[in-house]
Amino acid sequence: MQKPVTLTTTRKNFHLPVDKILPFLIPIIVILFWQVSSTLGWLSSSVLPSPMAVLQDGIKLTVSGELPKNLSISLYRATVGLLIGGGIGFVLGFINGMSNTFRLLFDSSIQMFRNIPHLALIPLIILWLGINESAKISLVAIGTMFPVYINTFHGIRSVDPDLIEMGKSYQLTKSQMFFKIIFPAALPQILVGIRYALGVMWTTLIVAETISASSGIGYMANNAEDFMDMETVVLCIVVYAVLGKISDLVAKSFESLLLDWQHTGRSNA
Amino acid sequence: MNNSMITIKNVNKIYDNTTALHDVSLDIKQGEFIALVGMSGGGKSTLLRLIAGLEQPTSGSVTINDSSTDSLMRVMFQEDRLLPWMSVLDNLSFGSKDKNTKAHARQLLDLVELGDYANHFPNQLSGGQKQRVALARALMTDPKILLLDEPLGALDALTRRKMQDLILDICQKQNLTTILVTHDVEEAARMADRIVVMKNSTNSYEETCPKNRNVGQIGLVADRVLGEILEEPTLEKQTA
Ligand SMILES: Nc1ncnc2c1ncn2[C@@H]1O[C@H](COP(=O)(O)OP(=O)(O)OP(=O)(O)O)[C@@H](O)[C@H]1O
Ligand SMILES: [Mg+2]
């Protein structure tokens, strides 16, 4: 009886790190290959600077304060834009999901507006608001509003009617009905919308900052391009990738925190 | 003792162009256990939903003869309809933080022999366990009327039998007025005081079951009721 027990523990010890390491394997190989190619001169630095050069550039810009400054302004625009857009999207999705009258009044207009690619509004918004903060924040807000709206709306509309009937037969109050049944049932779908909105948020910001800004990561990249500063251009791309990955991780951990009941399946128990 | 609890008078229910119920009149006494049986689409669920107040009759009246309000009636549906995001305990109390409510919920979980499962989520339970949670939930507010719409349909024969006994026991001890919708005439004959056959959208036949019945009597009642539903000569008639 002793042996199988020791066997399973060694197995566990052997398996766990592999799960953690495996996702990083390809990025590490790519970076190594990239570095080796640059060092051996296969890859000209005018085409693509080496990872070490990009890293050094990053350190230099961090020390000079330029990177932190632009990073924080970009983060600020992204967060405020998402909060405004996501907030409006959620409220509209909630109202239209709960009330047929509001749905008839608003939904088709919203759907029509949604079909305009929001980046097409850049010239109009620059004309209206100039190139100050409100222009970029509005663009992010418009871009993130729709995914949150649509997913909140659908999440609420597709709550299992059997559960709603159950709630009625148990005489739940309107607010109990919403907080105990409708909102938790719609939450997975709402979170899908938020995760999608995070993607839209970064794309919109990159484009907006590249086209018209005097600060932010997008501006940094655009400015570096004017000076043929390859290292900084690549650095900005890397920063965007990292930011995207971080926001995805934040969204994922939110999901597993809020939807823990989904992970209590019998297989895991 | 013999006062009626539920009075259904000339009830019609018409959906668009389907007549779900046609001129149904039925009187159900306080403490009585009624089984509603009949072919699929016969209007059993519709009648139950009208009694539960989840829908209104097209004409006629459904009267509940009891002055107490909200917690009077509880429905147990064919599916468990538990909230997957709440623990078993919270499903009973709808997440109430009230100490007495929680204590009551724990008592009922003990009653359905799920005391150890209070903090499990529904997807960690078996089908029979979920139905027991649903039963406990239906009993939370000490209802006087229990409406059961094929609650045991999805269970295996053994679990089903245990649930039947549990429900009977609870209904007798708490003197509940119970309406059980079922496809299973055997189940009806085992559990009910009175079996009502729903056919062609109306209650076409009734059978009062003997008290303290034995297996043979259950079989006979079941056979007679089945004959009524299918309009076939029954064993008794054949041998007579
Ligand atoms: N919401 C509805 N809209 C339209 N027709 C309905 C509705 N509910 C029930 N019906 C119709 O009413 C009739 C009776 O349905 P009901 O659900 O009461 O039957 P049932 O006896 O419970 O059947 P089963 O044993 O299959 O559950 C059926 O013909 C059904 O199609
Ligand atoms: Mg039915």
- Tell me the pLDDT tens digit for each residue of B14-34: 998 889 999 999 999 999 999
Question: What pLDDT is recorded for position B240?
Answer: 45
Residues of A63-102 as b/e, b for ≥16 C-beta within 10 angstroms? Answer: eeeebeebbebbeebbebbbebbbebbbebbbbbbbeeee
**pLDDT tens, position by position, B86-117:** 999 999 998 888 888 899 999 999 988 899 99
Q: Please tell me which residue of chain A has the smallest CA distance to B48.
A: A169
pLDDT at position B71 is: 58
Q: What is the pLDDT of residue B82?
A: 95
Contact criterion met (CB < 8 Å) for A264 and B79: no
In this structure, which amino acid lies at residue A110?
I
Nearest ligand to the C-alpha atom of residue B51: 1
Rounded to an integer, the average pLDDT of A18-27 is: 85
Tell me the chain B residues in contact with residue A169 when contact means C-beta distances shorter than 8 Å: 52, 54, 73-75
pLDDT (average), residues A30-46: 87
Q: Residue by residue, what is the 3-state secondary structure of chain A?
A: CHHHHHHHHHHHHHHHHHHHHHHHHHHHHHHHHHHHHHHCCCCCCCCCCCHHHHHHHHHHHHHCCHHHHHHHHHHHHHHHHHHHHHHHHHHHHHHHHHCHHHHHHHHHHHHHHHCCCHHHHHHHHHHHHCCCHHHHHHHHHHHHHHHHHHHHHHHHHCCCHHHHHHHHHCCCCHHHHHHHHHHHHHHHHHHHHHHHHHHHHHHHHHHHHHHCCCCCHHHHHHHHHHCCCHHHHHHHHHHHHHHHHHHHHHHHHHHHHHCHHHHCCCCCC
Phi and psi at residue A268, in whole multiples of 5°? Answer: -90, -15
Window 191-220 of B: residues touching A by CB (8 A cutoff) are none
Taken in order A211, A214, A218, A223, is the CA torsion positive or negative?
positive
Q: A172 and B81: CB-CB below 8 Å? A: no
The 8-class DSSP code of residue B42 comes to: S
In order of their start, the domains of chain B are: 1-66+145-155+175-240 (3.40.50.300)
Q: What pLDDT is stored for residue A180 in this prediction?
A: 93
Q: Which residues of B touch A261 (CB under 8 A)?
A: 84-86, 121, 123
Q: Is the pLDDT of residue A214 over 50?
A: yes
Give the best residue of A160, A261, A266 to mutate against chain B (max B CB count within 10 A): A261
pLDDT at B42: 87
Determine the pLDDT at residue B97.
82
User: What are the pLDDT tens digits along chain B (240 aa)?
Assistant: 457 889 999 999 999 888 999 999 999 999 999 999 988 888 999 999 999 988 999 999 998 887 666 558 899 998 899 999 999 999 999 888 888 889 999 999 998 889 999 999 999 998 889 999 999 999 888 889 999 998 888 788 888 888 899 899 999 998 999 999 998 899 999 999 999 999 888 888 888 888 888 888 888 888 888 888 887 655 555 554
Q: At A259, list the tokens.
A: 């939807």
Residue A13, pLDDT > 80, answer no
Question: Which mutation among B45, B54, B148 tests ligand 1's pocket best, with the greatest number of atoms within 8 A of CB?
Answer: B45
pLDDT category of residue A82 using cuts at 50, 70 and 90: very high
Provide, as residue numbers in chain A, all residues whose Cβ is less than 8 Å from the Cβ of B105: none
Kindly list the residues from chain A whose CB atom is less than 8 angstroms away from the CB atom of residue B123.
261, 264-266
How far away is chain A from the Cα of B36, in angstroms, using its nearest Cα?
Answer: 20
Q: Does B52 touch chain A (CB under 8 A)?
A: yes
In this prediction, residue A7 carries a pLDDT of: 46
**Residue B27 confidence (pLDDT):** 92
pLDDT score of B230: 85
For B107, the enclosing helix (H) or strand (E) is helix B99-111
Residue in B45, B79, B83, B92 to test binding to A, most A beta-carbons within 10 Å = B83
Every domain of chain A and the residues it spans:
53-268
What's chain B's average pLDDT? Answer: 87
Helix (H, G, I), strand (E, B) or coil at B227: helix
Residue A268 pLDDT > 90, yes or no? no
> What are B179's strand-pairing partners?
B34, B147
Within 6 Å (CB) of ligand 1, which residues are found? B 15, 18, 20, 38, 40-46
Per CB-CB distance under 8 Å, the chain A contacts of B55 are none
ipTM of the complex model: 0.83
Give pTM, 2 decimals: 0.81
Is the predicted pLDDT of residue A131 greater than 70, yes or no? yes
- In angstroms, the separation between the Cα of residue B118 and the nearest Cα of chain A is 14
Residue of A162, A164, A166, A187 to mutate, interface with B, max B Cβ within 10 Å:
A166
Please name the residues between 131 and 150 in chain B that touch chain A, using a CB distance below 8 Å: none
- The superfamily CATH assigns to domain A53-268 is MetI-like (1.10.3720.10)
For residue B47, the ligand closest to its alpha carbon is: 1
- What average pLDDT does the structure give for chain A? 86
Structure tokens at A242: 């990292």
Ligand 1 geometric centre to CA of B21 (Å):
9
Per-residue pLDDT tens for A145-194? 999 999 999 999 999 999 999 998 888 999 999 999 999 999 999 999 99
